[in-house]
Amino acid sequence: MNAKQMLRIDSDRLWQSLMDLAEIGGTDKGGVCRLALTDLDRQGRDLFVSWCQAEGMDVRIDVIGNIFARRPGTDPSRRAIATGSHIDTQPTGGKFDGNFGVLAGLEVVRTLNAQGIQTAAPVEVIAWTNEEGSRFVPVMMGSGVFSGAFTAAHAHQATDIDGKRVDEELARIGYAGSQPAGEVPGGMFDAYFEAHIEQGPVLEAHGKTIGVVPGALGQRWFDVTVTGMEAHAGPTPMALRHDALLAASRMVDLVNRIALEQAPHGRGTVGFMKVMPNSRNTIPGTVKFSVDFRNLDDSGLAAMEASLRSGCAELAAGCGSSVAIEQVVNFPPCHFAQDCIGAVRSAAEALGLSHMEVVSGAGHDAVYVADLAPAAMIFVPCKDGISHNEIEFAEQGDLAAGADVLLHAILAKAC
């Protein structure tokens, strides 16, 4: 085994960096609230930039505030190998979601510098803007603008609940950059890797350390409106009611059954419901609810949508109601590049780490980047699969293992 094969990141240094960043916006329950483009986000960005500059990296900011920190390579003809994630959080977020991917990338650079290892290709670490979408929509804003999924002008006009615009807030915190969206010195990345906590229970349940991610589930979201007739709960016989909530309740069960029929990658969730008039002694006349369908196969998603539309129409009619279904989100499934997936798997095997394939059920910046460059993801376990929560936790050893895999995947592509 040569010196590069034996190379490992500094586990304590990575952990301390995560803890230092988590102090910015830290909550009493041990989590983090660092919403995109707030003063706390500025402080987090400033800290990350200072760390990158201390490692001799060239830092650039694009028009949507994405931060690109580059370690030069020795071959000017080579395109960069990139890695990253995000440092904005949910209002009740944790220390690791997104942050791990950014700081694991920084730790790779720190390790290469400490060991005096030069790569032929540049290595770029990225902090994407507003991945969470908690303060501004659309979600995954920075990588979406970068990939051309929507324009910077569209994103700049987005407002928060107080009417503050993205472009104004970028300028206010000093991160309204000049680099055009999607522009990469030397050409688009040769590969992109994103390390992340799993945000689910699969790795922990199987006792595995590394998730080799072949792709991400596609998503179709719907707003469903069921219309019946309000009536007094006492005088109206059961057989003569037009109960919108009864119909909607049966539709919730339908959503669950549709997802189960698409095992193992089908997902179906009703996470929002509004009942009107929401009165104890009035039969509900209108119910609005959300449907979130996910699947690794686009034909599977199409089948789920078809079953939803036909099944809801039948259930509504059976309850003397009507139903309207509007699609509001359509993310196609993402399949990562086989050579990047192979680099992750080979790194895990060479390091002697237990691993398995885990499909991402959530959206990540890597999904947008994969439209432009070969990409893959690396998952590590999180306790009880809990994320987007102040009690989110990952073991230091698992985080170090994920960063080691990232290091060797990058070396396989950059040398």
pLDDT digits (tens, 9 = 90+) for 9-47: 999 999 999 999 999 999 999 999 999 999 999 999 999
**Per-residue confidence (pLDDT) for residue 280, from 0 to 100:** 97
Mean pLDDT computed over 341-359: 97
What is the tens place of the pLDDT at every residue in 209-253? 999 999 999 999 999 999 999 999 999 999 999 999 999 999 999
Higher-confidence residue: 162 or 4? 162
Tokens 């660092």 map to which residue?
34
Exposure on the CB side of residue 55, measured as CA atoms within 13 A: 27
Q: How confident is the model at residue 67, as a pLDDT?
A: 98
Statement: residue 52 has pLDDT above 60: yes
DSSP string, 187-227: SS-SEEEEEEE-SSSHHHHHT-SEEEE-EE-EEEEEEEEEE
In order, the DSSP letters of 347-380 are: HHHHTT--EEE--B-S--HHHHHTTTS-EEEEEE
> Would you state the pLDDT for residue 328?
86
Residue-wise pLDDT tens digits, 141-175: 999 999 999 999 999 999 999 999 999 999 999 99
Q: Which domains does the chain have, with CATH numbers?
A: 3-216+333-414 (3.40.630.10), 218-331 (3.30.70.360)
94, pLDDT greater than 70: yes
Global confidence as pTM:
0.89
The residues near 141 (Cβ < 8 Å, ≥ 6 apart) are 36, 64, 129, 130, 131, 133, 155, 158, 166
- The whole-number pLDDT of residue 154 equals 97
Output the pLDDT for position 197.
Answer: 98
User: Is the CB of residue 287 less than 8 Å from the CB of residue 248?
Assistant: yes
Give me the pLDDT at residue 152, please: 98
Flag whether pLDDT at 310 surpasses 90.
yes
58 class by beta-carbon count within 10 Å (0-12 exposed, 13-18 middle, 19+ buried):
middle
- Computed over every residue of the chain, the mean pLDDT equals 97
Comparing C-alpha atoms, which of 316, 135, 301 is closest to residue 221? 301
